[in-house]
Chains A and B, each alone.
Chain A
Amino acid sequence: MSVAFTRRSALRGLALAGASAFAAPAVSAQTRARVVVIGGGFGGASCARALNRLGLAVTLVEESAAYVACPFSNLVLHGSRDIAAQRFGYDTIRREGVEVVGQRAQGVDAAARRVRLADGATLAYDRLVLSPGVDMRFDALPGYDAQAADVMPHAWKAGAQTLLLRRQLEAMEDGGLVVMSVPANPYRCPPGPYERASLIAHYLKTSKPKSKLLVLDAKDQFSKQRLFQDAWKALYPDHLEYVPLAGGGKTVEVVAAQKSVVTEFGRHAGAVVNVIPPQRAGSIAATAGCVDRSGWCPIDPATFESRLAPFVHVIGDACIAGAMPKSAFSANAQAKVCAQGIALLLKGEAAPEPKLVNTCYSFVAPDYGISVAGVYAPAKGMLADVAGAGGTSPPGAPQATRAAEADYARAWFKIATEEAFG
Chain B
Amino acid sequence: MSGGRISIALAAALAAGFFVSGMRASDAQAISAQASKAQASVAIAPPGATSCTGCHAGAPSGDQPALPSLTGQSAQAIEEAMAGFRSGAREATLMNRIAKGFTEDETRAIARWLAQEGAR
Contacts and interface: CB of A to CB of B under 8 A. Distances in A.
A32 B35 contact: yes
A132 B53 CA distance: 23
B51 A348 contact: no
Contacts of A340: 42, 44-45, 50
B31 A416 contact: no
Contacts of A332: 54
Contacts of A344: 42, 44
B38 A32 contact: yes
A311 interface: yes
Interface string A338-374: 0010011111100011111101000000000001011
A391 to B, nearest CB: 5
B75 to A, nearest CB: 18
A356 B15 CA distance: 37
B34 A359 contact: no
B9 to A, nearest CB: 8
A20 B67 CA distance: 49
A72 to B, nearest CB: 15
> What's the dominant secondary structure at chain B's contact region?
helix
Contact of A310 (B1, B8, B15, B52): B1
Greatest chain B CB density within 10 A among A24, A26, A346 is at A26
Contacts of B10: 21, 26, 28
Interface string A6-48: 0000000000000011001011110111000000000000000
Given A20-B7, A352-B47, A357 B67 contact: no
B104 interface: no
B56 A415 contact: yes
Given A340-B45, A389-B101, A411-B65, A346 B58 contact: no
Interface residues of A, number: 62
Contacts of B77: none
Contact of A56 (B37, B38, B97): B38
A355 B101 contact: yes
Contacts of B38: 32, 54-56
A148 interface: no
Contacts, number: 166
Interface size class of B (residues with CB under 8 A): 35 or more
A337 interface: yes
A55 B37 contact: yes
A396 interface: no
B62 to A, nearest CB: 11
Contacts of A336: 45, 50-51, 53
A120 interface: no
B8 A27 contact: yes
Contact of B48 (A355, A388, A393): A355
B17 to A, nearest CB: 10
B113 to A, nearest CB: 12
A340 B34 CA distance: 19
B63 to A, nearest CB: 9
Interface string B51-73: 11111111001000111000000
B51 A26 contact: no
Contact of B97 (A21, A33, A390): A390
B89 interface: no
B85 to A, nearest CB: 11
Contacts of A410: 66
Greatest chain A CB density within 10 A among B15, B34, B45, B93 is at B93
A345 B66 CA distance: 37
A31 B16 CA distance: 11
Contacts of B21: none
Given A352-B44, A375-B98, A359 B4 contact: no
Contact of B11 (A21, A357, A401): A21
A56 B12 CA distance: 16
A3 interface: no
A191 B85 CA distance: 25
Enumerate the 8 nearest inter-chain pairs by beta-carbon distance, A residue then B residue, closest first: A375-B101, A389-B101, A55-B38, A355-B48, A357-B51, A336-B50, A411-B65, A355-B47
21 contacts: A21-B6, A28-B11, A28-B15, A50-B50, A54-B41, A55-B37, A310-B4, A340-B45, A347-B39, A356-B48, A357-B54, A357-B98, A357-B101, A375-B102, A386-B101, A411-B55, A411-B66, A412-B55, A416-B55, A418-B57, A419-B53
Interface of B: 1, 3-12, 14-15, 31, 34-35, 37-42, 44-45, 47-48, 50-58, 61, 65-67, 93-94, 97-102, 106, 120
